[in-house]
Amino acid sequence: DGLEVPPMPEDKASQMREAAEAIGLRVHSVIYGGWEAPLSSADPAVIRKGIQGVEGALRAASKLGADAVLLVPAVVTAETGYADAYQRSQGNIRNLIPLAEELGVVITVENVWNKFLLSPIEFARYVDELESEHVQAYFDIGNVVLFGFPEDWIRTLGSRTKKIHLKDFKREGYQWTNLREGDVNWPEVMRALEEV
């Protein structure tokens, strides 16, 4: 239970934490999408903006009492190839690890429709290569239904997973649905979660 919020100034984060705690809620993570300033860009100005954004999100998370920042790590485009996106984003995340460690916040890499981390084996490898307990996976169940099976991803990611988004998706008609109305095999997903 809890809230997931966008980045905000540290003073506002402190106020939000007090307000949330006053009504019995907890902020569990801060979302830093990474779409507008991806850590995979070749443009130094875009990278600076992205790094500053993640740093701000980490600081806000610390003030909020949140234990994680959700990060879209890279975006593959016609201009940014897959290998470049992989190497650049990992290099930039490595530079953020010391601040994450200092603040006690985990950078959680999420699988989204960014043409990146397209298999559970690769996602696991990507996290492992960063060699830090302050970089883990934020697994989105619905986002893999088109090209995989969430229960397989859960088992492959194993203990690398810090947080999970629960969503459902229907392949036929290509649409998001309410939970249990799409193609996610929820009993098997729950078994996989219990296993790991």
Dihedral pair phi/psi, residue 140, rounded to 5°: -105, 110
Q: Give the closest residue to 70 by CA, choosing from 96, 100, 108.
A: 108
Structure token digits, residue 84: 């470049």
Q: Are 111 and 141 in contact (CB under 8 A)?
A: no
Q: Give the closest residue to 105 by CA, choosing from 52, 140, 56.
A: 56
Q: Give the closest residue to 164 by CA, choosing from 148, 141, 144.
A: 141
**Alpha carbon distance 186, 27 (integer Å):** 26
3-class secondary structure, 105 = coil
Q: What is the pLDDT of residue 1?
A: 66
Q: Give the closest residue to 141 by CA, choosing from 110, 173, 172.
A: 110
Q: What is the pLDDT of residue 19?
A: 94
Q: What is the pLDDT of residue 33?
A: 86
3-class secondary structure, 69 = strand
Residue-wise pLDDT tens for the chain (196 aa)? 689 999 999 999 999 999 999 999 999 999 998 899 999 999 999 999 999 999 999 999 999 999 999 999 999 999 999 999 999 999 999 999 999 999 999 999 999 999 999 999 999 999 999 999 999 999 999 999 999 999 999 999 999 999 999 999 999 999 999 999 999 999 999 999 999 9
Q: What is the pLDDT of residue 103?
A: 98
Sign of CA dihedral 31, 33, 34, 37: negative
Q: What is the pTM of this model?
A: 0.96
DSSP 136-188: EEEEESGGGTTTS-HHHHHHHHGGGEEEEE--EEETTTTEEESTTSSS--HHH
Q: Tokens 């490898």 — which residue?
A: 125
Give the tens place of pLDDT for each residue, 84-108: 999 999 999 999 999 999 999 999 9
